[in-house]
Structure 1
Amino acid sequence: MILQPLKLGGSPYDIGLGLGRFGHDAVHRRLRPLPLWQSLAALAGSEAARAMQAQVEADFPRIWEEFRGLADGLALPVEEVFLWNCRGDFVRPQSVDGCTTVFGPCADGWLIAHNEDGLPSLDGACGLLEATPAQGMAFTSFVYPGSIPGHTFAVNAAGLVSTVNNLRPTRIPAGLPRQVLARAVLECASLEAAVDMLSRTGRAGAFHHTLGQVGSAHLVSVEACSSGVAVRKVRRLGGHSNHLLDAGLDAAGQRITGSSGSRQRRVDVLLGDGAGLLDEARALAILRDVAGPELPIYRRAEDDPDDENTLATAVFRIGANSVEWRVYCQPDVQHVEAAGSIRPHSANGPAR
């Protein structure tokens, strides 16, 4: 369990090209043979795929350039790579990208901690990208081979933190891909702009986002799907796995896997009534929990029913003037895989 460090800059195409070269071998050996990849690639050229691609090209041209570079680095057709990045925008029985997040107030501001759960075959093949684009916002993000950044965990130069959890609605229309909207959040300079981005109409698939920013008086929990968006200011301890918790959005229909239901129940038990403060040790203890009576929060089993394992855990401490972050990839949380600090020039004022 390691993360490969990546430093990429330049044009969107250049960054995509670097990501493609990084992920080339893993994609060809571990991902492209999968039935999920093949079923998505078969949709290339379909009416829905063409419409989604045209919408991204028109609304997010820089992100489309990242796709072009990514495809060239992977030595694959851009239409095929784009569809892989739309894997959550079509209803499929296969699970994709799980994750568990806990969040709440801490002694000096706010804390967001996140388990990034993905395909076990990608263990050791993922990276931690430090991007310095010629245009747009610099950011640091966990990246999967073959995917654009933004739909995992990340922090940008404005001190905006974003962690993302997969959701599984039963109906998904053609529209803006959820990974594109998650990538666009990393270009946002404020919480308000990020919420506006995720609240756009005409989206396809669904995600849950936990957002925080240096100097903010609260965190934001966003459940975003085609049937609506639920935005909640967070002022107490909370957690989220991989299904919609808002009753109104749930009414539209969703698939809740056994693992997602179990993890949400266990997180709720471990957080209690939501009162008090969250610190890094408590957050890590929750995200490393395997003691529950059902399927565990920390997922390393070869027979995980969703075919997912915890590949990395990130902890973000968001204060009045800076974001301090750490990434762990081992069961022993004494081993820090990577760490950093973001201090935006404009940061000031109390975090809470």
Structure 2
Amino acid sequence: MTSDHFPLSWLEAHGSHHDIGLALGRWGAHACQRHLVHSPAWAQVMAHRHDPAVPALRALLHQHFPWIEQELAGLAEGLGLPLEDVFLWNCRGDLWALAPDGCTTVLAPLRLSHNEDGDPGFAGACGLARVRPIDAPAFVSFLYPGSLPGHTFAVNGAGLAITVNNVRARKARATGLPRMALTRALLATQSPSQAIALLQAHPRMGAFHLGLGQSGDGGTFSVEFSQSAVSVQPIRQARRLHANHALHEAQRNLPQVITASSSRRQSRGEALLDQQADPLDILRDTEDSAEPILRRSPTDTDQENTLATADIDLSGEQVRWAVYSPGSRQPDYRFDGLHQPD
């Protein structure tokens, strides 16, 4: 395991959705040109250019969320890459079950704690953005170069907190909206109930697990969505842990890939919950040296590393949360709502 410290950069983006996408693209252009477009993952996703599902994905996005289409256009312009390629990259988990997106979340009734696991080639190139659209709530989100915000962890101006875990669903024949477009759309909602209703009202292609909660709302929710179902489990008393495979009974027939890392992080995390461990201690755990919860190995079996940890407290009238470098006990950022306290 490495103890390297990779600070997250900070970005402010505002204006129209095209303007926001443009700012995100310019911010991530160097990392994408240096690493992403040369990566095996990029090549694997670009091999789907002629997949018959792609035109349907684009048509549904245009029909339901043209403003996200505008963000993608701005993103592609800022990155200096073809829109068709950037759109495909933002559909990676819908088209390819083994896309390099991971994560682990501990869910408690008034707290969401989350390891953001992704491509280790982006270590030192990720960031946090405060985004202020002209027609929707502002939000702060973790960012990957080349990707829409919303599929990682975020808090919006309505006090809505979202954490997102990859679920490696195998592609079915039916089509729906790209899962990263749906989670981007959730950042424009005002409450967990609105977010859940949005998922239920739209066709879905890929699968994700979400932790949802809101300051002052009195609870959090474990949500799994796939083509076939949107499953919602309130977190009332007992804490839960979620790695990277669907667990809800409603998803029992979901064709999915369960990797050794996901299975063993799930088992180890549940054991630590039984021991009443603190969520941040769980997310720092490396007891299973082959498949640790805190993932920093260059030989990680899923080619993923922990790039940041978020700890989101929903017990007050305003969200209080912190973002840590992997394994650190001191936060790099603290927030009251969307603002850093003095």
Gap change, CA 1:48 and 1:341, over 3 Å in 2: same
AA at the equivalent of 2:324: Y
Aligned to 2:88: 83
Q: Tell me the secondary structure at the aligned position of residue 306 of structure 1.
A: coil
Residue-by-residue CA offset, 1:2-55 (whole Å, 9 max, x unaligned): 111001101000110000001111111111112321232243354321211111
Aligned to 1:185: 186
- Rounded to whole Å, the distance in 2 between the matches of 1:67 and 1:330 is 29
Aligned to 1:263: 265
Matches for 1:282-301 after TM superposition, within 5 Å: 282-292=278-288, 295-301=291-297
AA at the equivalent of 1:36: A
Gap change, CA 1:131 and 1:48, over 3 Å in 2: same
Q: Is contact 2:94-2:171 (8 Å) kept?
A: no
Aligned to 1:348: none
AA at the equivalent of 1:232: Q
Aligned to 1:323: 319
Q: Percent identity?
A: 45
Shifted more, 195-204 versus 214-223: the winner is 195-204
Residue-by-residue CA offset, 1:191-235 (whole Å, 9 max, x unaligned): 110011222342100000000001212111101001212111111
Shift of 1:343: 8.1
Listed as ranges, the gaps of 5+ residues in structure 2 are 1-5
Q: Is contact 1:116-1:313 (8 Å) kept?
A: yes
Aligned to 1:232: 233
Gap change, CA 1:304 and 1:39, over 3 Å in 2: closer
- Rounded to whole Å, the distance in 2 between the matches of 1:46 and 1:270 is 42
Count of matched residue positions in the alignment of Structure 1 and Structure 2: 332
Aligned to 1:148: 148
- Rounded to whole Å, the distance in 1 between the matches of 2:90 and 2:61 is 12
Say whether 1:103 aligns with 2:97.
no
Shift of 1:96: 2.0
Q: Tell me the secondary structure at the aligned position of residue 333 of structure 1.
A: coil
- Rounded to whole Å, the distance in 2 between the matches of 1:217 and 1:204 is 31
Matches for 1:94-173 after TM superposition, within 5 Å: 94-105=98-109, 110-172=110-172, 173=174
Q: Tell me the secondary structure at the aligned position of residue 195 of structure 1.
A: helix
- Rounded to whole Å, the distance in 1 between the matches of 2:250 and 2:321 is 34
Aligned to 1:350: none
Q: Is contact 2:48-2:95 (8 Å) kept?
A: no
Shift of 1:91: 3.1
Aligned to 2:204: 203
Q: Tell me the secondary structure at the aligned position of residue 27 of structure 1.
A: helix
Please, which of 14, 30, 51 is the counterpart of residue 9 of structure 1?
14
Q: Is contact 1:159-1:323 (8 Å) kept?
A: yes
Say whether 1:69 aligns with 2:74.
yes
Taking only aligned residues, the RMSD between alpha carbons, in angstroms, comes to 1.7
Q: Is contact 1:126-1:144 (8 Å) kept?
A: yes
Q: Tell me the secondary structure at the aligned position of residue 231 of structure 1.
A: strand
Gap change, CA 1:301 and 1:215, over 3 Å in 2: same
Q: Tell me the secondary structure at the aligned position of residue 187 of structure 1.
A: coil
Q: Is contact 2:94-2:179 (8 Å) kept?
A: yes
- Rounded to whole Å, the distance in 2 between the matches of 1:67 and 1:128 is 18
Alignment TM-score, normalising by the size of structure 2 = 0.93
AA at the equivalent of 1:270: L
Q: Is contact 1:129-1:140 (8 Å) kept?
A: yes
Shifted more, 72-81 versus 241-250: the winner is 241-250
AA at the equivalent of 2:158: A
Shift of 1:302: 0.8
Gap change, CA 1:221 and 1:330, over 3 Å in 2: closer
Aligned to 2:217: 216
- Rounded to whole Å, the distance in 2 between the matches of 1:201 and 1:63 is 15
Q: Is contact 1:95-1:306 (8 Å) kept?
A: no
Q: Is contact 1:287-1:297 (8 Å) kept?
A: yes
Gap change, CA 1:293 and 1:96, over 3 Å in 2: closer
Q: Is contact 1:223-1:244 (8 Å) kept?
A: yes
Alignment TM-score, normalising by the size of structure 1 = 0.90
AA at the equivalent of 2:263: G
Q: Tell me the secondary structure at the aligned position of residue 197 of structure 2.
A: helix
Shift of 1:171: 3.3
Say whether 1:337 aligns with 2:332.
yes
Listed as ranges, the gaps of 5+ residues in structure 1 are 345-352
Aligned to 1:347: none
